[in-house]
Amino acid sequence: MTRRWRGTALFGVVLASLGAALWAKTTSAESATVAEKPKTSQSPSSSASASKTKPSSSTSSSSSPSRSPNSSPSSTSASTSPTSSATASATSPGNAVVDGNAVDTPYGPVEVEVTWQSGSITKVDLLQYPSGSGRDIAINQYALPILAQEVIQSQSAQINTVSGATFTSIGYIQSLQSAIDKKG
């Protein structure tokens, strides 16, 4: 008689285990974030080993209705660029806004728009990114601000891909590189 419910019981056990695994992963991710936080705040512009998870929490809270692609981490750009007051001088030599190529990925094209101020990248906006499904949007809302953060920190297209969004990352990097090349 008990065998009748064995499959259902097993489902319950499996689901509970998976929930526990998810929780364990969450807590381990959170502790990693907490551990790396002081490091990034001490050296905001130069740390090459910046935490990947840290900016996600800051950008998602600051720009939570980020349904529009223009969800670049403006909060971080303020801290990294001391010349943020010079936004109006778009014609001065170090300032430019350049669109990268639209790069195809299996999930759709990625196209970035890079803003330079006084010769350094201060902002990466997205003109296009894969948003064919809610899952794509969920992943990219998380991944793209991290990529933008990495770009502003490294001032180049030499950045790590974001795990879970590899194809988008690669498309992002290629589009970014094309923008950098265009600016010359």
Binds other proteins by CB under 8 A, chosen from 63, 71, 81, 141: 141
* Interface mask toward other proteins for 73-102; x: CB under 8 A: ------------------------------
Asked if 142 touches other proteins (CB under 8 A), the answer is yes
Tokens 């990947």 locate to 52
CA pair distance 113, 117, nearest whole angstrom: 13
From residue 162, give the alpha-carbon distance in Å to each of 96, 143, 146: 27, 6, 8
Asked if 18 touches other proteins (CB under 8 A), the answer is yes
Tokens 């065998």 locate to 3
Asked if 48 touches other proteins (CB under 8 A), the answer is no
Amino acid in position 140? N
Amino acid in position 20? A
CA pair distance 141, 170, nearest whole angstrom: 16
Tokens 């170090």 locate to 94
Binds other proteins by CB under 8 A, chosen from 40, 50, 56, 147: 56
Binds other proteins by CB under 8 A, chosen from 98, 102, 127, 137: 137
Non-local CB neighbours of 138 within 8 Å, separated by 6+ positions: none
Binds other proteins by CB under 8 A, chosen from 42, 68, 85, 163: 163
Give me the residues that bind other proteins (CB under 8 A), please: 1, 3-4, 6-8, 10-11, 14-15, 17-19, 21-22, 25-26, 29-30, 32-33, 52-53, 56-57, 60, 67, 106-108, 130-139, 141-143, 146, 162-167
